[in-house]
Structures are given as structure tokens and as C-alpha cells.
Amino acid sequence: MLSFSAIAVVAAWFSGEAALLLALFLATFVLEDAATVSAALLASGGMVSTGPALAVLYAGIFLGDLGLYALGFLAGRNKRLRKWIGIGRIRVGRRWLGRRLVPALIGARFVPGLRLPTYTASGFFQVSFVTFALVAAGAAGLWTTGLFCLVYLFGETVLPNVGPWRWVLAALVVFIIIGLPHVIGMRRLGAGLEPKP
């Protein structure tokens, strides 16, 4: 049975910065960019330390990328699915992706909506796991660090000067960085599906 002091220690650990870091880590599995923007704003406001915030972002994003590869790998082991797709198509897909793996992985990191299909296809076609892991980690590190630094600098230089409106402005920045590309992508997708006269 846990003593009161042990419970107090655990409760104290899960309050404050540790709780925020845990929330940021878990948020990377839902929306990586939102977690990154949130972490940068929290760090610029002094609510979390920069190093640990970046560390939990890197860890969560990399584990999520490995999870997508594993999901594809497990799907590729499904005999019914392989039969439905056809061994010829699988060979062509494996060869095509294998020849373009590095640029495909880097592009998938920077273009919204491409990461899920590209990373799961990498697992499905069983491309080199080592190459996948190294490129995915590098691309995620570049993207996450760049986005974090931009938002952090914005948070440090602009937000303190707007007083009580700083969180409204911060929410607007989150929308512009995360929501606007999604809205634009959905409009383009919708425009492409409409019948042409």
C-alpha cells in the first residue's frame, strides 16, 4: 500500500511543469504541430523549460512516426490484404518507394496530409527500417525545431507587448499555423472533386 508521502510525491510530480510536459508528449500523438506550437508558447511564457519541452516533442513525434511504420508493417503481414492488393502491385510499390524513400519521407514531413500514407506505406512495403528511422528522426527534428523556434521568438517578442490579448493572439497564431493549411487543403480537395462543366 502506498503511504501518504508517496502519494504526495507523485501528486507533486504531476502538477506544474511535469504535468504540462506529459500533456505535450501525449498531444504529439494527436496533432504534432499543435503540440509544438503549444510547447513553444508555454516555454516563451516561462511555464515549461525549453530543453525538456523540445525533448518530449522529439520523443513523442519519433514514437508516433515509428508507430505509423509499425501499423503499415502489420497491415502488410495480413494475407487477405496482400492478396486483395496483389503481389505484383506490392512489388511495384516497394520498388517505387524504395527508390524515392528519402525524398518521400522528407516531403511527407513538410507537406500536410502526406505523413500518414507515406509512413504507413513504408512499413507496408517493408522499406529499410534503419533508413526510415534515421530520415524520419532527422526530418522531424528539423521541422519541430524550426517551428518551435519561430513560435518561441514570436512568444517572447510580441506576446508580452499585447497585454491581456496575448492568449487571443496566441490562439490566432495556432490557427494560422495549423488550421489554415488544413482549411486550404480541404478547399483544394473539394475543388478537385467537383464535376467539370
Number of folded domains in the chain?
A: 1
User: What is the structure's pLDDT at 159?
Assistant: 63
Taking only the tens of pLDDT, the chain with its 197 residues reads 444 444 444 445 556 788 889 999 999 998 888 899 889 988 988 889 999 999 999 999 999 999 999 999 998 888 888 788 887 887 887 888 888 899 999 988 888 788 898 999 999 899 999 999 999 999 999 999 999 998 898 877 776 666 666 667 767 766 766 666 666 666 655 655 444 44
Q: Which residue has the cell 475543388?
A: 191
CA distance 105 to 102: 5
| Residue 1: inside a domain | no
pTM of the model: 0.74
User: What is the structure's pLDDT at 15?
Assistant: 63
User: What is the structure's pLDDT at 162?
Assistant: 65
| Residue 40: inside a domain | yes
DSSP secondary structure letters along 41-83: HHHHTTSS-HHHHHHHHHHHHHHHHHHHHHHHHHHHT-HHHHH
Q: Which domain holds residue 72?
A: 13-187
| Residue 140: inside a domain | yes
Q: Which residue has the cell 488550421?
A: 179
| Residue 31: inside a domain | yes
| Residue 98: inside a domain | yes
| Residue 192: inside a domain | no
| Residue 67: inside a domain | yes
User: What is the structure's pLDDT at 5?
Assistant: 47
| Residue 2: inside a domain | no
